[in-house]
Amino acid sequence: MVFGMGVATLATSAPSAGLEVPEIHPNIVLIYADDLGYGDTGCYGATRVQTPAVDRIAAEGLRFTDGHAAAATCTPSRYALLTGEYAFRRRGTGVLSGAAGMIIEPGRPTLPSLLKRAGYVTGVVGKWHLGLGDGNVDWNSEIKPGPAEIGFDYSFLIPATGDRVPCVYVENARVVGLDPADPITVSYGKRVGGDPIGAEHPELLKMHPSHGHDRTIVNGISRIGYMSGGQAARWVDEDMADTLTRKAVQFVEQRADKPFFLYFAYHDIHVPRVPHPRFVGRTEMGPRGDAIAQLDWCTGQILSALDRLGLAENTLVLFTSDNGPVVDDGYRDDAVARLGDHRPAGPFRGGKYSRYEGGTRVPLIVRWPGRVQPGVSDALVCQVDFLASLARLAGQPLPAEAGPDSFDVLPALSGESPKGRDHLVEHAGGLALREANWKLLPSAGGARVLQTVNIETGAGDSSQLYDLGADPGERHNLASTQPDRVRAMTERLESLRAAGRTRPNL
C-alpha cells in the first residue's frame, strides 16, 4: 500500500534499520472518548442516539470490530496509550485521585516525545488523569512535572476527572483564571476550607449522587474530594465541551503549516453528565444520551476544522475510547431508567471495570483520506500499539527499552493487512488473555458483580474459557471441555506477566 506521492511504501514487518521513512509526515489527531462503549455510536449499531460525525469517520475510514483499550478503566488505559506499556506492570497506575503525582516519569520515550523527535508539534487537550507534579501539588504556582516533561509542547487539561476536585483547567502548567488572592487547596483526606459538601447540603445540588460523589460542591454538583478557593477558576460543566473543543480547534489552526499531533481527550461521556443546554433533550436517553450527542458535535467540529484548513487529506484521524461503558457511575441522572433497548456494550458482556469483552472492546476507527481505504477490519488491535505503530509512520525507530508491550500493527491500522496482534492481555484489576478468538479468564477472587454499577467483573472460583467467534457474548464456558487449552493459555499469561515485556527485542 502506498501512502500518497512522496511517501514510501510501508513494509509489513516490524521496524528495522532498513525502514523507508515517509518524506512527508501526516498530521495525527487522536480523539479519545471517555466511557464510550462499543455499542454507543451509530456506526457500531446504536439507534437511539444519532452520531453523524463519528459515523462520517467510519464511512470515510476503517472501522475495527476487535479494537481494544489497554485496560477497563481510564488511568491505566491512558498510561498504556502514551507509554506502550501495560499498566499492570507498574505499581500506582490504578485510577488516580485528583491530587496524585504524575505516573509517567519524565525522560522515558512516549508517544508524544517520539513524534516530537520526528518534527511534530504536539498538544494535549482534555482529560489527563495521569497525575501532575510530585504528589504534593501547589495549585497556585507552576505545576511540574506534567505533559511538557513527557513530550507535549502544549497542554490544556482537566487534571483528573469531572467528578473529582480540583475542578479547574490547567494550561501549560498553570491553573487558568486563578485569582492569587483566593488560593486553591485540595485534599482527598481531611476536609479543607468552608465550602459546603453534598453529604450535608443536598438541597444545594442540581444533580444528586447515587453512590459516593458527596464531598465539595462545585457548580451545584458534589464531587470526590475536598477543595477550597479558586472560585474564579472553577469550571462550569455545561460549558466544558465547548471550552475543550475551542482549544483543540485553536491548536489545529495555529499549527496548520507544520505536522502536528493532537491528543484530544474528551470528558464526555464520563460522569457527571451535564451537557450544554443546546444538547439537553437531544435524545430520549437523558443526560447520558445527550452527552453522546454532544461528543459527536465536538468530533464534527474537529473534522470541520480540518476541512476548512485544507488539512483533511494529510491528517490521520483515530477515534476510540478509554474503556467500555458504564450506565450508573455515581450520579442519579436517569441513565438506567431511560436506557430502553440501547446496548452500550453492543453484543458483549460486561463493561467498564470488567474482564469480559465489554470492558476493553471499544470503538476504534482510523481515517486518512486517499491512504486508508474505507471498510471494516476484524484485526485484533490495541491502543497500547499506537506508540510503536505511529512511531514507525513517523520514521522513528523505537529504543530497546521503549514501548515494552507496543506492537507495530501499522499494516492493520492502515488496512494493508487483515491481521493484527496474535494475542492481547486484557486488564481489569485481574487479567485475561486473548489468543485469536479464544479468551481465557483465570480464576480470580473478588465480587462477581460490582453492585454500585451493576457490572459483571469476570471474577470467579474457576477459570473461564470462551470461543468469541461462536460466542461473542461469553455465555458458554468451555473450560471443562478444553483443559489442555486452559492450561496452555494460563501458562502463557503467567509468562507474559513475568517477562516484563511482550514486544520482542529487534
Tell me the catalytic residues: 74, 129
DSSP assignment string, 158-215: ESS-TTBS--B-EETTEETT--TTS--EEESSS--SS--BTTT-GGG-SB-BSSS--S
Look up residue 206 and give its three cell numbers.
442540581
What value, to the nearest 5°, has the Cα angle with vertex 252 and ends 247 and 258?
Answer: 145
What is the number of alpha carbons within 13 Å of residue 420 lying toward its C-beta? 28
CA-to-CA distance for 32 and 202, rounded, in angstroms? 33
CA-to-CA distance for 393 and 10, rounded, in angstroms? 8
- How many secondary structure helices (H) and strands (E) does the chain include? 8, 22
Would residue 396 be called left, alpha or beta, if left means φ above 0 and alpha means ψ between -120 and 50 degrees? Answer: beta
What value, to the nearest 5°, has the Cα angle with vertex 380 and ends 379 and 384?
Answer: 130
- Closest by alpha carbon to 126, among 85, 68, 81, 92? 81
- Closest by alpha carbon to 324, among 350, 298, 342? 350
3-state secondary structure of 125: strand
CA-to-CA distance for 104 and 145, rounded, in angstroms? 9
Which residues have C-beta within 8 Å of that of residue 138, sequence separation ≥ 6? Answer: none
Using the Cα atoms of residue 236, residue 239, residue 240 and residue 243 in order, give the sign of their dihedral. Answer: negative
3-state secondary structure of 422: coil
| 375: DSSP letter | E
Look up residue 321 and give its three cell numbers.
475510547
